[in-house]
Structure 1
Amino acid sequence: MGTIRAVERSAVLPKPVSEFISGARAAQRTIADWPQKRVDAAVAAIAWHICRPETARELTGSAYSQTGIGSPEDAFVQLGRRVHGALSDFHGVQTLGLIEAEPERRLRRYAKPIGVIGVLTPATAPIAAITVNAMTAVKTRNAAVICANPGVRSAGAAAVEVIRQGLKAAGAPVDLVQFLTEPARSRAVELAEQCDMVIATGGAATVRRASAAGRPTYSGGPGNAVVIIDETADLTQAADAIVAGKTFDNGTSCSAESTLIVARAISGLMRAELTARGVHFCDAAEGARLRATVWPDGKLFRGAVGQPATRIAKLAGVEAPDGTRALAADIGADPESDPMCGEKLSPIMGFTTYGGFDEAVALVRRLTAIAGRGHSCGIHSSNASHVERLAEAAEVSRMMVNQSTGLGNSGSFGNGMPFTSTISCGSWGGSTLNENVTWRRFLNYTWVSEPLQRPAPSWETLMEPYLAIADATA
Structure 2
Amino acid sequence: MNVRATEAEAARERPDSDAGDAGRSVAALIARARAAQRVFEFAGQDALDTAAAAAAWAVMEPARNRQLAELSVRDTGLDNADDKFRKNFRKTLGLLRDLHGQKTCGVIARDAATGIVEIARAVGVVAAVTPSTNPAATPLNKIVNALKCGNAVIVAPSPKGFSSCALLIEFIHEQFAKAGVPRDLVQMLPAPISKAATAELMRQADLVVATGSQANVRMAAASGTPAFGVGAGNVASIVTASADLHDAAHKIARSKTFDNATSCSSENSVVIEDAVYTPMLAELAACGGVLLDAAQKARLQAAMWVNGKLSDACTAKSAAAIARVAGLDEIAAREPAFLMVEESGFGSDYPFSGEKLAPVLTVYRAASFDAACDLVRGVYAYMGAGHSVGLHSTDPDQAVLAGSTLPVARVIVNQAHCLATGGNFDNGLPFSLSMGCGTWGRNNFSGNLNFHQYLNITRVAYPVEERVRELDDVLGDFFRRYGR
Q: Deviations over 1:20-62 (max 9, x none)?
A: 0000001112212112122212221222222221211111211
In the aligned structure 1, how far is the partner of 2:153 from the partner of 2:393? 42
Say which of 427, 435, 446 aligns to 1:415.
427
In the aligned structure 2, how far is the partner of 1:335 from the partner of 1:30? 52
Gaps of 5+ in 2: 1-20
In the aligned structure 2, how far is the partner of 1:406 from the partner of 1:329? 20
In the aligned structure 1, how far is the partner of 2:296 from the partner of 2:180? 59
1:452 aligns with 2:464: yes
1:200 positional shift: 0.5
1:467 positional shift: 4.0
1:193 aligns with 2:203: yes
Is the deviation greater in 328-337 or in 423-432? 328-337
In the aligned structure 2, how far is the partner of 1:325 from the partner of 1:136? 35
Give SS of 1:80's match.
helix
Q: Contact (CA 8 Å) 1:280, 1:326: kept in 2 or not?
A: yes
Q: 1:334 to 1:191 in 2, by over 3 A?
A: closer
1:231 positional shift: 0.8
Give SS of 2:310's match.
coil
Give SS of 1:155's match.
helix
What one-letter code is carried by the residue in structure 2 that aligns with 1:273? Answer: E
Match of 2:233 in 1: 223
1:80 aligns with 2:113: no
Say which of 308, 311, 333 aligns to 2:318.
308
**Correspondence list, 1:165-184, <5 A:** 165-182=174-191, 183-184=193-194
Match of 1:130 in 2: 139
In the aligned structure 2, how far is the partner of 1:314 from the partner of 1:94? 53
Match of 1:9 in 2: none
What one-letter code is carried by the residue in structure 1 that aligns with 2:156? Answer: C
In the aligned structure 1, how far is the partner of 2:312 from the partner of 2:228? 26
1:463 positional shift: 3.2
Say which of 62, 68, 71 aligns to 1:62.
71
Q: Contact (CA 8 Å) 1:137, 1:143: kept in 2 or not?
A: yes
Say which of 249, 259, 283 aligns to 1:239.
249
Q: Contact (CA 8 Å) 1:67, 1:152: kept in 2 or not?
A: yes
Q: Deviations over 1:278-333 (max 9, x none)?
A: 11111111111111211233322232111101111111123325231111111133
1:397 positional shift: 0.9
Is the deviation greater in 159-168 or in 44-53? 44-53
**What TM-score does the superposition give when structure 2 sets the normalisation length?**
0.92
1:127 positional shift: 0.3
What one-letter code is carried by the residue in structure 2 that aligns with 1:242? Answer: I
Say which of 281, 291, 313 aligns to 1:281.
291
Q: 1:73 to 1:355 in 2, by over 3 A?
A: same
What one-letter code is carried by the residue in structure 1 that aligns with 2:294? Answer: A
1:337 aligns with 2:342: no
Q: Contact (CA 8 Å) 1:328, 1:349: kept in 2 or not?
A: yes
1:115 aligns with 2:127: no
Match of 2:365 in 1: 353
Match of 2:16 in 1: none
In the aligned structure 2, how far is the partner of 1:88 from the partner of 1:235? 32
Match of 1:37 in 2: 46
1:326 aligns with 2:338: yes
What one-letter code is carried by the residue in structure 1 that aligns with 2:394? Answer: S
Is the deviation greater in 415-424 or in 462-471? 462-471
In the aligned structure 1, how far is the partner of 2:326 from the partner of 2:352? 14
In the aligned structure 1, how far is the partner of 2:39 from the partner of 2:346? 58
Q: Contact (CA 8 Å) 2:346, 2:382: kept in 1 or not?
A: no
1:399 aligns with 2:411: yes
In the aligned structure 2, how far is the partner of 1:455 from the partner of 1:402? 47
In the aligned structure 2, how far is the partner of 1:391 from the partner of 1:153? 38
Give SS of 1:317's match.
coil
1:106 aligns with 2:106: no
What one-letter code is carried by the residue in structure 2 that aligns with 1:449? Answer: A
What one-letter code is carried by the residue in structure 1 that aligns with 2:174? Answer: Q
Indicate the percent of aligned positions where both proteins have the same amino acid: 34
Match of 2:12 in 1: none
1:184 positional shift: 1.0
What one-letter code is carried by the residue in structure 1 that aligns with 2:468? Answer: A
Match of 1:6 in 2: none
Give SS of 2:445's match.
coil
Match of 2:154 in 1: 145
Match of 1:376 in 2: 388
Match of 2:58 in 1: 49
Match of 2:270 in 1: 260
In the aligned structure 1, how far is the partner of 2:345 from the partner of 2:211? 33
Cα RMSD (Å) of the superposition?
A: 1.7
**What TM-score does the superposition give when structure 1 sets the normalisation length?**
0.94
In the aligned structure 1, how far is the partner of 2:473 from the partner of 2:440? 35
In the aligned structure 2, how far is the partner of 1:398 from the partner of 1:460? 39
Give SS of 1:89's match.
helix
In the aligned structure 1, how far is the partner of 2:103 from the partner of 2:417? 30
What one-letter code is carried by the residue in structure 1 that aligns with 2:210? Answer: A
Q: Deviations over 1:132-190 (max 9, x none)?
A: 11111111110000110011211211111111111121111001000110221110000
The aligned length equals: 460
Q: Deviations over 1:1-28 (max 9, x none)?
A: xxxxxxxxxxxx9971111000000111
